[in-house]
Structure 1
Amino acid sequence: MAKKIYDKPIIVQKIDEDTEKWKSIYTLHANVNKTRQGEEYLSAGAIQSKNKLTFEVRYFKKIEDIELNTQLYRILFNGNIYDIHDYDDYRYEHKNVRLLGVSQ
């Protein structure tokens, strides 16, 4: 099995519920992959698309907060914003965590 390379810098942000402003809380390195399907939808008479990426990062204890509150977090990557739609700590082994990001 090939060793994963975590070489793409990402920033995880959390919304401050009092001020409603986003605050950068973690700067991480991730293995980033496109998911199999993007999303297309009709908006204002034009087809828009949403990019879906999987951000795999090494596990650390505080990242568990994202699992139950994905709507409070987002990822900045390559100048784009990705809402976190899923958190996956495979079999709760606490080795790697996959975050599904959907572009805004």
Structure 2
Amino acid sequence: MSLNGYPFQLEEDKYKKLIGIQDYRIIVQDYAAAIERTLPVKIPNEEILFLTLPIAGRRGQITLKVDGSTSPELPGSLYLENTEIQDVNIGDQIRVVTP
């Protein structure tokens, strides 16, 4: 894939977790399908995943990963030290502070 003439490679394996979520289905069923019906093109899965990224992250949802990881798997994940935390419920607010 290229972007403005520059090669661009999305790490598809890293983002395969997005396949099957509602945002991905919206892109596939609505946007990609409409483009493919209108134009003589087939949109590659890599490009559909790329289009899904900003949509999947738009709501401010976050996944708390309490495993001490330092490398993110997907956008919207907050990695914490590997320790026990109290329950997090809908409506709770989390504040990130620096020491």
The TM-score normalised by the length of structure 1 is: 0.26
Higher percent of residues as helix: 2
Tell which structure's C-alpha radius of gyration is larger.
2
Higher percent of residues as strand: 1
**Relative contact order (C-alpha < 8 Å, sep 6+): which is higher?**
1
